[in-house]
Amino acid sequence: MELQIEDSELVRDYISGDEKALEILINKHNQRITSFIYSKVLDRDVTEDIFQDTFIKVIKTLKKGNYSEEGKFLPWVMRISHNLIIDYFRKNKRMPMFEGSDDFNIFSVIGDDKLNAEKQIIKDQISSDLRVLVEELPDDQKEVLLMRIYKDMSFKEISENTGVSINTALGRMRYALINLRKIIEKHNIVLTS
Amino acid sequence: MEKIYAKKNIEKCKLVKTKPETIQFLLNYSKSLDITEAQGIKFETNMN
């Protein structure tokens, strides 16, 4: 026959320094408290967290000598876990958590188009390297390239601004790109991420 | 609808136990926790 030690006796032993008494208390009420928490939160991980926090409070209160024994250890522990469950729901109400399912992923709807920090740094580095390379081009080619790429002007607008024909502007752009590639190859520069 | 309600109620009545790791953590936490009182103020010390 299994000997059932009263909670009050175990609590007294624990307060007097018997750590084994705590283990017996936890194991004795484990299923009841865990099932109670789980019935409210319906999540195994959250249940573990609340169970842990409950007993951390129990341990602190007992060790500080703030517990008054009235033969109601289990209802007291249940009350602590109940309050922690309420805290959990209050916190979640302030910060609602959305959990996706297998057929629906929230990030497919709310994802942004921005690059991540690493890709943004690489893009900025490439842009700044390219600006240095553009400076190496002859002035007439550089002028056309800057107007076309950086100012987004049409070849018609470029020809009007530079006083050359559209064909000449197109030719300068072509040579600008060819020369840029030559510079890149010559110096073994890698511009892609 | 009937099925959904039935499923939810079964979940609520499920008997579950905390993992042994959680219990072990609590026992270790208890052993490491020391309460010191000085001039009426209680201090918590965690000795790991």
Q: Is B46 helix (H, G, I), strand (E, B) or coil?
A: strand
Flag whether B8 is in a domain.
no
Q: How far apart are CA B24 and CA A26, in angstroms?
A: 10
Q: Mean of the pLDDT values across residues B20-26?
A: 95
Does A34 lie at the interface with B, CB-CB under 8 angstroms?
yes
> Quick check: A114 pLDDT over 70?
yes
Flag whether B44 is in a domain.
yes
Report pLDDT for A144. Answer: 93
Report pLDDT for A4. Answer: 72
Report pLDDT for A123. Answer: 85
When mean pLDDT is compared across A5-14, A112-121, A140-149, A167-176, the lowest value belongs to A112-121
Report pLDDT for A32. Answer: 94
Q: Are the Cβ atoms of B26 and A55 closer than 8 angstroms? A: yes
- The maximal CA–CA distance of chain A, rounded, in angstroms, is 107
pLDDT band, residue B13 (cuts 50/70/90) = confident
pLDDT band, residue B5 (cuts 50/70/90) = low
DSSP A135: T
Q: Are the Cβ atoms of B16 and A38 closer than 8 angstroms? A: yes
Q: How far apart are CA A173 and CA A142, in angstroms?
A: 8
Q: pLDDT digits over A140-166, tens only?
A: 999 999 999 888 899 999 999 999 999
Q: Are the Cβ atoms of B42 and A64 closer than 8 angstroms? A: yes
Q: Are the Cβ atoms of B15 and A35 closer than 8 angstroms? A: yes
Flag whether B11 is in a domain.
no
Total count of domains within chain B: 1
Does A39 lie at the interface with B, CB-CB under 8 angstroms?
yes
Q: Mean of the pLDDT values across residues A93-97?
A: 70
Pick B17's closest partner by Cβ from A31, A59, A60: A31
Mean pLDDT of chain A: 87
> Quick check: A71 pLDDT over 80?
no
Q: How far apart are CA A138 and CA A155, in angstroms?
A: 18
Query: Measured between beta carbons, which residues in chain A are less than 8 angstroms from residue B35?
Result: 60, 63-65
pLDDT > 90 in chain B, percent: 35
Exposure of B1 in the CB half-sphere (CA atoms within 13 A): 0
Does A55 lie at the interface with B, CB-CB under 8 angstroms?
yes
Report pLDDT for A149. Answer: 87
Q: How far apart are CA A55 and CA A30, in angstroms?
A: 11
Detail the DSSP E strand segments found in B1-48: 33-38, 41-46
pTM over 0.90: no
pLDDT band, residue B18 (cuts 50/70/90) = very high
Flag whether B36 is in a domain.
yes
What are the structure tokens assigned to A12, written together?
A: 């007294």
Q: How far apart are CA B26 and CA B48, in angstroms?
A: 13
Flag whether B1 is in a domain.
no
Test the B interface: residue of A38, A43, A57, A77 with most B CBs within 10 Å: A38
Q: What is the ipTM of this complex?
A: 0.79
Q: What angle do CA A104, A109, A111 make, to 5 degrees?
A: 120
Flag whether B31 is in a domain.
yes
Flag whether B7 is in a domain.
no
Q: How far is A49 from chain B (nearest CA, A)?
A: 9
Does A48 lie at the interface with B, CB-CB under 8 angstroms?
yes
Q: How far is CA B24 from CA A25, A35, A172, B5, in A?
A: 13, 19, 75, 36
Q: How far is B1 from chain A (nearest CA, A)?
A: 19
> Quick check: A107 pLDDT over 60?
yes
Are the CB atoms for A60 and B44 separated by under 8 Å?
Answer: yes
What count of other Cβ atoms lies within 10 Å of the Cβ of residue A73? 20
pLDDT band, residue A118 (cuts 50/70/90) = confident
Report CA torsion sign: B3, B7, B12, B14. positive
What count of other Cβ atoms lies within 10 Å of the Cβ of residue A101? 7
Cα–chain-centroid distance for residue A101?
18
DSSP A57: H
Domain containing B22: what range?
Answer: 16-48
